[in-house]
Each structure stands twice: as C-alpha cells, then as structure tokens.
Amino acid sequence: MMNSIIEKSLKDSFSYQEYRSFVTDLAKEDKTTGHEQREDLIHYTQLNEARLHRLDKTIQVVDEVKTVLQNLSKEYTWLVISESWCGDAAQILPVINKMAEVSDKIDLRIVLRDDNENLMNLFLTNGTKSIPKLIIIDKATNEVINDFGPRPKGAKQLILDYKAAHGIVDETAKIELQKWYLQDKGISTQKEIMELL
C-alpha cells in the first residue's frame, strides 16, 4: 500500500529545478500552488520565491555533513512534500537541495501536498498535514527509512513556546520563526537529517 502510494507520487514529482521554475512562474502570475487561490497564499508564495532565491545562493553545507554525504554507501530517494505558500518549506527545501547536490547517491524529488493527499496522510505530524516533510527512501528496497519535518527541533520549540505564551501562531510568531531560520543558516536541518540516515 505505502509503496504504491510513494511510487505514484514519484511519477508526478518535480526535480528541484523544475519546482523552482514552477514557483517563480506562479509568483510572477500572482498565483500559488494548492487547491485554493487565496490572496494571503499568493502573498506568501511571492515572499517565499524571494526567500528561495536568496537561500539558493547563500546556503552552505557544513563540512562534517558534506563528508558523510560524499561517503554514503547506499542510494536514496529524498521525496519532499511541499507547497509554494509554506514558509517552512521555503527555508528548508534549499538546504535539502544543497545536501542532495553534494552526493551522487541522493535523488531529490518534490511533490505538492494537495495533489498527493494519500501520501500526505501517511506522514502526518500529530494528526496534521504539516509541511515540508522529507521522506527518506532506500532506492534499492523502496523502503522508507525515516522522515523529517516539518521543522527542525529549535524552530518547533520556538513555535510551541510562542503558542503557550500567546495562545495562537500569528504574524509576529512567523517573523520570529523566520529570524530563527536566518540565524541558524540551515545547520540544524542538515544535522537532524544526517541523524536519520
């Protein structure tokens, strides 16, 4: 069951470059991914396009992670569930892509959440369809080894603490979260994914 759902999703997946071009075009056309074309989602897509553009240029894979990635003994498919309006995805996808570029043993593919509901339902976070979600698959056996997401531990904690203090996740919380990502420079994401391999 899980294997056939993953196989079907992979058939309709994007490479990172295809995903980036797709998001760039949507942002220019005042559109968003997903099944709803709402003003706020369109705004977030445009914001994220600028973030993706910046992070594609600035994110670096740290040396210790690079060494592990360059010496992987197995081949993997990294399948990421995303949407263009998702702020966490805009922060994390460029990091995952840079990691995949370092290794010839990682094939990175991206799918959209709303178009892959069956897949999303296999990887819920506390019952919610939180994204991004990285699914690590052993290429030889098609077995799911692990998954990561929607956020690194530090970012997760920041939102939990904010929610505990204020009862909601509002615009201020989102700004705090973006600041956290900015300071972290993708390092937590890299280290946490390495622990899953």
| pLDDT tens profile 92-118 | 999 999 999 999 999 999 999 999 999
Residue 176 maps to a domain: no
Supply the pLDDT for residue 30.
97
Per-residue pLDDT tens over the stretch 163-184: 999 999 999 999 999 999 999 9
User: The whole model's pTM is what?
Assistant: 0.96
| CATH number where 144 lies | 3.40.30.10
Per-residue pLDDT tens over the stretch 4-34: 999 999 999 999 999 999 999 999 999 999 9
Domains: count for the chain:
1
Owning domain of residue 122: 2-150
**H or E stretch including 169?**
none
Residue 78 — pLDDT band, cuts 50, 70, 90? very high
Angstrom distances, CA of residue 114 to CA of 18, 34, 139, 177: 18, 5, 25, 24
Give the span between the Cα atoms of 165 and 6, in whole angstroms. 39
Residue 175 maps to a domain: no
Residue 174 maps to a domain: no
Residue 163 maps to a domain: no
Residue 36 maps to a domain: yes
Backbone dihedral angles phi then psi of residue 116, each to the nearest 5 degrees: -135, 55
Q: Where are the beta strands (DSSP E) in the chain?
A: 76-82, 106-112, 133-138, 143-148
